[in-house]
């Protein structure tokens, strides 16, 4: 499992994802909301008033969001437990820091996964340095975090993550498919042989991946919204997140990495 500080702990957060981020009325959200405006479902105790009914109420997008532990880091460390309601002077800066922290924590989660994979050992030295740098950045003061150039940080770390993905995929025998950044919207990939494939950033919205072999495939940034993963084998998939699974459809036959759990809405 990922370290506890890289897993969302809403009980230690001031509902930052429900306030800091905007959303637009769509299939994922029932209403429009501007950044910095509290969601109408956010309660005084920073809990969601419809948490158990989010999908039924039209807030599917909330169920697939993952802050990778950034919410509690900003709430309890960066701002020392001072919430934006009791201390309104912190609100603007806190809401600016949250998306930056989320990016750092997401990168740190990927780097941590790569460090746990023996196939990535040739890249471990660089990955360890990246993990140390990312951790230092997350501990910085709010004024520094709010102005952090995250694109440069992401580019630097992404080069290491690409290498890590290549190392995992290289351990899979035979020729591997490369669908990096491919538009596979609604693609018919039932029972597809995608073991060790590169699916980085691929659009797999509503794709039929039922029964597909996705073992050790690199799926970082792949969009699995409404993709059918029924009976698919995702064992060892590289950089697969809980949010990607929650956005997809699957069933009891879908095989998952041990670090992830079967979404409650799957059949």
Looking at residue 184, which CATH number applies to its domain? Answer: 2.160.20.80
> Is the pLDDT score of 200 beyond 90?
yes
Torsion of CA 212, 218, 223, 227, to 10 degrees: 10
Same domain, 11 and 124: yes
Same domain, 159 and 182: no
Distance, CA of 152 to chain centre: 19
Same domain, 67 and 144: yes
Among 134, 169, 204, residue at a domain's last position: 169
> Is the pLDDT score of 40 beyond 90?
yes
Same domain, 48 and 160: yes
Same domain, 17 and 128: yes
Same domain, 67 and 159: yes
Same domain, 191 and 117: no
What's the pTM?
A: 0.96
Length of the chain: 267
Per-residue pLDDT at 1: 58
Find the mean pLDDT for residues 138-147.
98
Name 258's Cβ contacts closer than 8 Å, sequence gap at least 6: none
Structural domain including 203 reads 175-267
Same domain, 205 and 264: yes
Same domain, 137 and 205: no
The strand pairing partners of 23, in sequence order, are 33
Among 169, 184, 200, residue at a domain's last position: 169
How many structural domains compose the chain?
A: 2
d(CA 3, CA 257): 16
49 close to 41: Cβ distance less than 8 angstroms: yes
Per-residue pLDDT at 146: 97
Per-residue pLDDT at 135: 97
246 close to 266: Cβ distance less than 8 angstroms: no
Find the mean pLDDT for residues 200-212.
98
> Is the pLDDT score of 230 beyond 70?
yes
> Is the pLDDT score of 6 beyond 70?
yes
Could you say which DSSP state residue 133 is in? H
Could you say which DSSP state residue 26 is in? S
- Share the mean pLDDT of the chain: 97
Name 147's Cβ contacts closer than 8 Å, sequence gap at least 6: none
Same domain, 98 and 156: yes
Q: For the beta carbon of residue 7, count every other beta carbon within 10 angstroms.
A: 16
> Is the pLDDT score of 188 beyond 80?
yes
Secondary structure of the chain: what % helix, strand, coil (to 5)? Answer: 40, 5, 55
């Amino acid at each position: 499992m990922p370290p506890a500080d890289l897993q969302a702990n809403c009980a230690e957060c001031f509902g930052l994802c429900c306030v800091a981020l905007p959303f637009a009325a769509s299939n994922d959200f029932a209403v429009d909301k501007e950044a910095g405006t509290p969601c109408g479902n956010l309660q005084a105790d920073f809990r969601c008033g419809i948490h158990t009914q989010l999908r039924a109420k039209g807030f599917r997008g909330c169920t697939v969001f993952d802050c990778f532990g950034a919410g509690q880091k900003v709430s309890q460390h960066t701002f020392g437990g001072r919430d934006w309601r009791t201390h309104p002077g912190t609100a603007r800066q806190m809401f600016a820091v949250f998306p930056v922290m989320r990016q750092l924590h997401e990168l740190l989660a990927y780097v941590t996964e790569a460090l746990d994979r023996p196939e990535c050992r040739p890249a471990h030295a660089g990955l360890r340095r990246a993990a140390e740098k990312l951790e230092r950045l997350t501990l910085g003061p709010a004024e520094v975090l709010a102005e952090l150039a995250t694109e440069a940080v992401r580019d630097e770390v992404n080069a290491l993550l690409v290498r890590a993905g290549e190392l995992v995929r290289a351990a899979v025998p035979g020729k591997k498919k490369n669908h990096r950044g491919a538009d596979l919207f609604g693609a018919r990939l039932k029972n597809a042989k995608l073991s060790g494939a590169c699916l980085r950033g691929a659009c797999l919205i509503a794709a039929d991946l039922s029964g597909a072999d996705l073992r050790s495939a690199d799926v970082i940034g792949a969009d699995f919204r409404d993709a059918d993963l029924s009976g698919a084998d995702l064992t060892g998939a590289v950089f697969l997140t809980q949010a990607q699974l929650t956005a997809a459809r699957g069933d009891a036959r879908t095989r998952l990495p041990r670090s992830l759990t079967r979404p409650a809405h799957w059949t």
